[in-house]
Structure 1
């Protein structure tokens, strides 16, 4: 069996967060959205990788 070189393994779902580009408008009046990576396990894996850890999302 091979050795696992992961510092952290995150288990969960990857989501896309859609954030409205207009300020001070309600959702029905928002004309454009920006997409961001989301989901708690995904955010943890991404941020740990940015801190220099070897992370994996399952």
Structure 2
């Protein structure tokens, strides 16, 4: 409907949203998922690209 969903996350850009049963909002964002051992972006072995991280926004 074009109404504002969230105004407390400035600078967060997401391509798609998903909402679960409890109204939490999930979105893949443009920050790469980091490997915990090396701190480097995790590269998908099949596609050869960095995997996106996931953001979760909980309802107030």
| Normalised TM-score (structure 1) | 0.29
Q: Which has the higher contact order (CA 8 A, sep 6+)?
A: 1
More helix by share: 1
Greater percentage in strand: 1
Normalising by structure 2, what TM-score?
Answer: 0.28
